[in-house]
Chains A and B, each alone.
Chain A
Amino acid sequence: MANLQTQLLELILLTATSLPSDVENALQDAAEREAGGSTAQNILNTIIRNVAIARKNATPICQDTGTPIFHVRYPRSYSTIELKNIIHSAVAEATQKHYLRPNAVDSLSGQNSGNNLGDKYFPEIHFEEHSGDDLRITLLLKGGGCENVGCQYALPDARLKAGRDLEGVRKAALDTVFQAQGRGCAPGFLGIAIGGDRATSFLASKEVFLEKMGEHHFDPAIAALETRITREANQLDIGPMGLGGQTTLLGTHITGLHRLPASYFVSVSYMCWAFRRRSLTLTYGKAFYD
Chain B
Amino acid sequence: MTESPFSLTAPLTDEAILALHSGDNVLLNGVIVTARDRAHQWLHERFIRQTIVPTPEDQQVYNALKAYLQNGLIYHCGPLVEKSPDGSYHFIAAGPTTSTREEPYQAEIMQHFNLKGVIGKGGMGAQTLQACVQTPAAYFHAVGGTAALTARAVVEVLEVFKLEFGMPEAMWVVRVKDFPAVVTMDAHGQSLHEQVLKRSQNELERLIG
The residue on B at minimum CB distance from A173 is B208
If A59-B93, A60-B92, A65-B80 touch, does A237 touch B203 (CB 8 Å cutoff)?
yes
* Beta-carbon contact of A236 and B203 below 8 Å: yes
Q: Does A185 lie at the interface of the complex (its beta carbon under 8 Å from any beta carbon of B)? A: yes
Considering the complex, give the chain A residue whose CB is closest to the CB of B100.
A183
A57 to B80, CA, bound (A): 15
Contacts of A272 in B (CB 8 A): 144-145
B167 and A50 form a contact (CB under 8 A): no
Q: Are B93 and A53 in contact (CB-based, < 8 A)? A: no
Q: A98-B92, A181-B193, A243-B196 are in contact. Are A63 and B79 (CB under 8 A)?
A: yes
Q: Which of B123, B167, B208 contacts A242 (CB 8 A)?
A: B123
Main SS class of interface, A = loop
**Interface majority SS (helix, strand, loop, mixed), chain B:** mixed
Which of A43, A64, A105: most chain B CB closer than 10 A?
A: A64
Interface positions of A from 194 to 245, Cβ below 8 Å from B: 232, 235-239, 241-244
- Point out the residues of chain B lying under 8 angstroms from A148, CB to CB: 98
| Residues on the A chain within 8 Å of B11, using CB | none
Interface size bracket, B side: 35 or more
Of the 9-residue stretches B12-20, B111-119, B148-156, which lies at the interface with chain A?
B148-156
Q: B23 to chain A: closest CB distance in Å?
A: 7
> Is the pair A237, B182 in contact by a Cβ cutoff of 8 Å?
no
| Residues in chain A within 8 A of chain B (CB atoms) | 37-39, 42-43, 46-47, 49-50, 53-54, 57, 59-65, 98, 101-103, 105, 110-112, 114, 143-145, 148, 160-162, 170-171, 174-175, 178, 181-183, 185, 232, 235-239, 241-244, 272-274
